[in-house]
Amino acid sequence: MSTQYHQISLKEIFSECQDMFTSDVPSFFKLLEEHLDLEPFIPHTFYNAFYRSLGRNRLYPLSGFLSALILQKIFSIPTDALLILFLKLCKELRDFCGFSKVPDAPLFTRFKQNFLPFIEQMFNQLVDFTEPLCQAIDAALAQMLTFDTSGIELYVSENNPKTLNAFIRRLKAYYKDKPAVDPYKMAYGLMPAQAAACPEAKQLYINGHFCYADKFTILTNGLGIVRHMAFLDDAFKRAHPEMPVEKRSDSPDTDKSIGDAASLKPVLSDFFLGIQPFIRILSSGTRLLIPWILTGL
């Protein structure tokens, strides 16, 4: 008698977890408690900074904030206000996070603002932890790198569609007798390079539309696991003066292509320099690739 095997996938596992969360909440959190333990991944420097900042015991544990924010992303909860509502309504969720009472919105905001470097350090540590796992799953795919750019649209007045649309309508009316003039490209060239209220909100052309966003790059391996992220902010550009800062043309597509190509080498350089102590676990092919990328790209 032949045995039928079924190839499971990450998508199916994630769908089953979401179904369990809606239909059997106690079993879902029991499963999380058995298989998800954040404590070993939290750097000691993070512990010291979190508990030392007040000089007294904290009512809310560090692992509780991290668990709540991770579950917020897993279940696509869009705002902290909605996350707090879930915490208030679901006792199992509060118990899993270790909250005797629900933190208010300013506490979540201060946590993310005050401990941002330590959160970044924690996720960099996760990269080191998951690299041997990726190598064991598929060494060839684990050595691949995929580079992509995107941006986080910020809450500034320039991102209000009415602002840009009104500007384009005025240009269309002014140049209505000149069909060779493209009002969209002209609007791109005349709009300010950054938002007035937030210098980090740069004018970008993302997914076919104008916006003011904080641009970032992401590196993933062939398995789709994130290896590195970098925000292309003013600090990054000061560290890499070879990158263009100003717009070079009246074409948003051209500027996007130039910006993406110019950021590739600096991002890869920072990534490989940042994981040098961990390179020893990679194959010789990858070690030979690194100096070529840094010097010959």
Dump pLDDT digits (tens) for 207-231.
667 788 888 888 999 888 888 888 8
Identify the H or E element spanning 211.
strand 209-220
Q: Are residues 216 and 246 in the same domain?
A: yes
The percentage of the chain sitting over the pLDDT mark of 90, rounded to a whole number, equals 10
How far is 7 from 5, CA to CA, in rounded Å? 7
- What angle separates helix 62-74 from helix 44-52, to the nearest 10 degrees? 110
Biggest CA-to-CA distance, the chain: 80
Same domain, 204 and 76: no
At 223, list the tokens: 């398995």
Q: Is residue 4 part of a domain?
A: no
Q: Are residues 60 and 138 in the same domain?
A: no
Same-domain check for residues 136 and 198: yes
User: Running DSSP on this structure, what letter comes out for residue 55?
Assistant: S
**Span 151-188, pLDDT tens digits:** 888 888 888 877 777 888 888 888 888 888 777 777 77
Do residues 177 and 245 touch, judged by C-beta distance below 8 A?
Answer: no
- One domain for residues 207 and 255: yes
**Residue 20 · residue 31 · CB < 8 Å:** yes
Q: How does DSSP classify residue 196?
A: S
Q: Is residue 130 part of a domain?
A: yes
What pLDDT score was predicted for residue 4? 57
The last residue of one of the domains, among 69, 92, 114, is: 114
Q: 198 and 172, same structural domain? A: yes
% residues pLDDT > 70 (the chain): 76
Pairing outcome for strands 226-231 and 209-220: antiparallel
| 70 and 185 share one domain | no
Residue 220 in any domain: the answer is yes
User: Domain end: 114, 129, 151, which one?
Assistant: 114
* Together in a domain, 151 and 244: yes
For residue 108, give its domain range.
10-114
Residues 138 and 81 in one domain: no
Beta carbons of 129 and 215 less than 8 angstroms apart: no
- Domain tally, the chain: 2
Confidence band (pLDDT; 50, 70, 90) for 111?
very high
What pLDDT band is residue 275 in, cutting at 50, 70 and 90?
very low
d(CA 24, CA 13): 15
CA-wise closest residue to 271 among 256, 255, 282:
282
Distance, CA of 141 to CA of 144 (rounded, Å)? 5
Q: Both 80 and 183 in a single domain?
A: no
User: Between these two residues, 140 and 254, which has the higher pLDDT value?
Assistant: 140
Give mean pLDDT, residues 244-262: 64
| Residue where a domain stops, chosen among 99, 114, 129 | 114
Q: Is residue 1 part of a domain?
A: no
Please state whether 208 falls in left (phi above 0), alpha (psi between -120 and 50) or beta: left
CA distance 256 to 149: 10
Rounded to whole angstroms, how far apart are CA atoms 247 and 80?
36
97/169 same-domain check: no
Residue-wise pLDDT tens digits, 125-150: 888 888 898 999 888 998 888 888 88
Question: What per-residue confidence (pLDDT) applies to 242?
Answer: 76
The whole-number average pLDDT for the span 48-58 is 76
Shared domain for 134 and 104, answered yes or no, is no
